[in-house]
Amino acid sequence: MATEQSVDLVDDDTVGLFTKAVLLAALTAALAQISIPLPGPLVPFSLQPFGMFFAGLVLGPLWGGVALLLYILVGIAGAPVFSNANAGLGYVIAGQGTGGFLVGFLVGAVVAGAIAHRSIAPKPVAALSVPVQVVALTAAVLVVYAIGIPWMSFVTGLPLTRAATVMAPYIPPDLLKLGIAIAIVQGGYLAGR
């Protein structure tokens, strides 16, 4: 007796968004391992927020969120994808007091995508105006700090203002990263994406 099972193929558009989400999750993980040392007492220049920026801008709120969720899940599963090749649920919860920033990246990608595209389906990146990109990425950075600083305060027992003071040196580099991300989009490097 012949057995039949229907095959439910994934449509081409979904495959394209899915593979971009997978690769941007891998890129976020790779960028988390790279930082540029700065002279003197300045904090090292981490490239990790670019993963969140590009996930939101290229993929929109749904698939941008999927990309960052995949990044976090793979880290919880044990792949050494967090900064300094760390992994595990313990690192997401605690990190170096910075576990909330990982969750902040996820929410930040969703927020950036929602503001930039204003729908679940992403538009071409070239169709996004500069002011919209600025608002979307600024909101994403604000969300990251709005989640990361109270989380740090909760984990370490530091008062909120003191946790904010500890993280203050990271804000100017993050604003510079925001500007670089927008310059990359304006440079046409994401045209056709």
Partner 1 sequence: MLSYRPGSTLAHRLDPRSKLLVQFGLAIAAVAHPTLPWLVGTTAFALGTLAAARLSPLAVLRSYRVVLAVLALAPVVAGVALGPPWFRVDPALRSALHVGRILPVLLVSAAYLTSTPVRDTRAAVQRLIPGKPGQILGIGMALVVRLFPLVLADVREVRDAIHARGGEARPLRDRVRLLAVRSLERTLDRSDRLSVALRARCFAWNPTLPPLSFDRRDYPVLAVGIALSVSPLVPV
Cβ nearer to partner 1, comparing 1 with 9: 9
Residues in the chain: 193
Q: How far is the CB of 1 from partner 1 (least distance, A)?
A: 21
Q: How far is the CB of 46 from partner 1 (least distance, A)?
A: 10
Distance CA 150, CA 98 (A): 10
User: 35: Cβ–Cβ under 8 A, 6 or more apart, which residues?
Assistant: 44, 45, 46, 47, 83
**Alpha-carbon torsion angle 71, 99, 118, 29, nearest 10:** -30
Q: How far is the CB of 31 from partner 1 (least distance, A)?
A: 7
Cβ nearer to partner 1, comparing 47 with 107: 47
Distance CA 103, CA 131 (A): 26
φ, ψ for residue 45 (rounded to 5)?
Answer: -90, 100
Q: How far is the CB of 171 from partner 1 (least distance, A)?
A: 16
Cβ nearer to partner 1, comparing 88 with 146: 88
Q: How far is the CB of 101 from partner 1 (least distance, A)?
A: 13
Q: How far is the CB of 146 from partner 1 (least distance, A)?
A: 19
Cβ nearer to partner 1, comparing 45 with 146: 45
Distance CA 44, CA 189 (A): 26
Q: Residues 103, 149: contact at Cβ < 8 Å?
A: no
The distance in angstroms from the start CA to the end CA of the chain is: 48
Cβ nearer to partner 1, comparing 3 with 5: 5
Distance CA 123, CA 107 (A): 20
The two structure tokens encoding residue 82: 């967090």
Cβ nearer to partner 1, comparing 107 with 162: 162
